[in-house]
Amino acid sequence: MFQPLTPFKWLGILGAIIVMLLLPMVTQDTYLLHVLILAMVFGIFASAWNFVTGFAGLKTFGHHAFFALGAYGSALIGINLGLSAWLTIWLGGLIAALAGLFIGLPILRIRSMPHVAIVTLGFAEIVRITLSNLTDITRGELGLWGIPVFDGFTVPGLGEVVFSPADKVPYYYLAFALLLLSVGVITALMRSKTGLSLIAMRDGEDAAESLGINLTRQKLQVFVVSSFLVGVAGAFYAHYITILTPAAVAGVDLMILIIAMVLVGGLGTLSGPLVGALVLTILVEFLRDLDTFRMLVYGAIIILSVMFLPKGLVTLGRRWKRPPDAAATEAE
């Protein structure tokens, strides 16, 4: 991860970006674009959760709280203050980041990961129950509607860009821009001293601390960055779907879906969460008819991928080649 990218990898990244950019010019199929937009929103969420859990090793199961806080925060500011969604999605991110700081502080003192999991999950449940009961503000499970969409604008030479349910293309490009931004931030951090510190902290907290890494600072930083990105993803989702219910954005189902995406794609890798988000979002669409049995299928997917593909889909290619570490160890 800390070596310069090979030209082959550069080409792969560039190719993926070009394909994503050209796709809406080939097809404007509303349903296909909708699925891809959701995949990108989940891709941001999965990447940001992987940043905390896969790279920094903090096993948090409450990140859906940040998604919900970003979504409701941005939507409520938009509805009540009349601010543009272009501004409020960042405010939604900030609200989530503040919550991340708030929940990051007690986690600093807990070194046992099962306890971190329970504390964060408990926090997310508090957020869900609060959103569901503050009916005067959020309308509870009836759903918050009337969320403003993104304002249109005019691009010189291209004409007017309008965000409407009928035309998914502008949303598609906006989601893609947010995805690039999020993955770009995480990648840049992971390839810097921060990334080195995080992996050291994950693999040996005591050793990392003895080598001069400030655990407090690293943990807070990773939590704030991650919750900000998840909050922005949630805020985008709010202004895209335009109706929010606590069950949909703050329910534990969402978290389990994200965990499944990251595990299937590859925990602790940069591309894994994106691959997992794409594969599972499409799969979820196929499984839509199963309705309440969906959770059963997610569970089976998590178990199967952990059993047969513990490092995720993105390591498939590497498995076919001879693993260099194993080869070296055997040679010894």
Return the residues of window 148-177 that contact another protein according to CB under 8 A.
Answer: none
Q: Quick one: 138 or 218, whose CB is closer to another protein?
A: 218
Q: Does 6 bind another protein (CB under 8 A)?
A: no
List C-alpha distances in Å: 134 to 142, 206, 230: 11, 43, 22
Q: Does 208 bind another protein (CB under 8 A)?
A: yes
Which of 196, 220, 283, 302 binds another protein (CB under 8 A)? It is 196
**Pick from 110, 124, 111: nearest CA to 49:** 124
Which of 9, 111, 193, 322 binds another protein (CB under 8 A)? It is 193
Q: Does 111 bind another protein (CB under 8 A)?
A: no
**Pick from 231, 233, 225, 229: nearest CA to 194:** 225
# chain residues binding another protein, by CB under 8 A: 28
Q: Does 112 bind another protein (CB under 8 A)?
A: no
- Burial class, 205, CB count within 10 angstroms (exposed 0-12 / middle 13-18 / buried 19+): middle
SS3 198: helix
Which of 214, 290, 299, 300 binds another protein (CB under 8 A)? It is 214
Which of 47, 53, 187, 197 binds another protein (CB under 8 A)? It is 197
Cα–Cα distance measured from residue 11 to residue 13, given in angstroms and rounded to the nearest whole number: 6
Name the segment binding another protein (CB under 8 A); options: 127-135, 175-183, 191-199, 291-299: 191-199
Which of 48, 68, 199, 222 binds another protein (CB under 8 A)? It is 199
Q: Quick one: 199 or 314, whose CB is closer to another protein?
A: 199
**Conformational region of residue 242, where left means phi above 0, alpha means psi within -120 to 50, and beta covers everything else:** left
Q: Quick one: 292 or 329, whose CB is closer to another protein?
A: 329
Return the residues of window 261-320 that contact another protein according to CB under 8 A.
Answer: 268
For the chain, give percent helix, strand, coil, nearest 5.
Answer: 75, 5, 20
Inter-axis angle of helices 64-81 and 85-108, to 10 degrees? 140
SS3 134: coil
Cα–Cα distance measured from residue 86 to residue 89, given in angstroms and rounded to the nearest whole number: 6
Q: Does 2 bind another protein (CB under 8 A)?
A: yes
Name the segment binding another protein (CB under 8 A); options: 70-78, 120-128, 180-188, 203-211: 203-211
Which of 213, 230, 244, 257 binds another protein (CB under 8 A)? It is 213
